[in-house]
């Protein structure tokens, strides 16, 4: 029941103790650096690790950069950062009076990752959840993201407290869910989908990684992980399949060499993102 004040809760002397005021939802959204300009923020998520979320993030960024958009990647996988490796970035992020500066890949993609701040890229990040969540927020608020059309956020895997913090803090235009064909993973995907729904984050679609292996000798496709179960999930929640990516040793070689931007095709050329 309201107090009947015509001036609203903000001007009421009893706002700190009034039940009506306490029921007002708190805005936890972080603000971009004042020198940043980002049109769209896209999160890339997975219900668990090991399904190729960082690879899909990188491929989406490469795809949109090739279409002429200005693109950045915020590596939010703080304890398992891999984005700088696949782009061959070895430098250290600079800091000036405006904020932290991302490092550009050879293809012009802005990248910020905790590995660009560590003394050695192999040093472990032994931080608890709240600290990890705050670091992801700082990469959003303290880094100068200049004139980007798309900022892709490689989200922490799972649906734990760090993912919740990111969902609440970053103003996401939508998320892309990454999965693989196994039935167990499909179940975990449903958890990520339900989490996004509960937090009112739009789901752009789903990418199935490790979908098949194309044999170069006989031209046949082999389902290494068995038949896909993702179609059932897509139908149940009315989701769009953005693509099925194969197991490709050449992609692994490019990632290991830091040359992923040299990939001939990403397999995600037909993905439509908010514009």
Read off the pLDDT of residues 220-269 as tens digits, 9 standing for 90 and up: 999 998 888 888 888 888 999 999 999 999 999 999 999 999 999 999 99
Terminal-residue alpha carbon distance, the chain: 42
pLDDT band at 16 (very low <50, low <70, confident <90, very high): low
- Distance (Å, whole) CA 34 – CA 38: 11
Contacts of 251 (CB under 8 A, 6+ apart): 55, 260, 263
Spans of all domains in the chain: 35-262
How do residues 127-174 score in pLDDT, each as one tens digit?
Answer: 676 787 888 899 999 999 999 999 999 988 777 777 888 888 888 999
> Could you say which architecture CATH assigns to the domain 35-262?
3-Layer(aba) Sandwich (3.40)
The pLDDT value given to residue 15? 56
| 9 or 162, greater pLDDT | 162
Report pTM. Answer: 0.86
The pLDDT value given to residue 88? 96
């Amino acid at each position: 029941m309201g107090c009947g004040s015509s001036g609203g809760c903000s001007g009421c002397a009893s706002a700190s103790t009034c039940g009506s005021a306490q029921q007002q939802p708190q805005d936890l959204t972080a603000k971009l650096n004042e020198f940043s300009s980002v049109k769209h923020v896209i999160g890339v998520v997975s219900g668990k690790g090991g399904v190729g979320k960082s690879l899909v993030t990188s491929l989406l960024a490469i795809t949109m950069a090739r279409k002429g958009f200005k693109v950045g990647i915020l590596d939010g996988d703080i304890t398992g950062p891999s984005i700088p490796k696949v782009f061959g970035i070895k430098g250290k992020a600079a800091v000036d009076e405006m904020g932290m500066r991302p490092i550009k890949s050879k293809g012009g993609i802005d990248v910020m990752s905790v590995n660009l701040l560590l003394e050695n890229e192999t040093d472990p990040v032994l931080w608890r959840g709240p600290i990890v969540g705050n670091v992801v927020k700082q990469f959003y608020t303290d880094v100068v993201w200049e004139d980007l059309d798309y900022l892709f956020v490689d989200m922490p895997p799972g649906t734990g407290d760090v993912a919740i913090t990111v969902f609440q803090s970053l103003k996401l235009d939508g998320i892309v869910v990454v999965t693989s064909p196994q039935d167990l993973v499909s179940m975990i995907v449903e958890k990520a989908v339900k989490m996004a729904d509960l937090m009112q984050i739009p789901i752009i679609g789903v990418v199935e990684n490790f979908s098949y292996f194309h044999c170069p000798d006989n031209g046949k496709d082999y389902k290494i992980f068995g038949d896909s179960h993702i179609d059932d999930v897509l139908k149940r929640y009315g989701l769009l399949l953005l693509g099925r990516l194969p197991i490709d040793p050449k992609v692994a070689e490019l990632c290991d060499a830091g040359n992923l931007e040299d990939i001939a095709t990403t397999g995600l050329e037909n993905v439509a993102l908010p514009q």
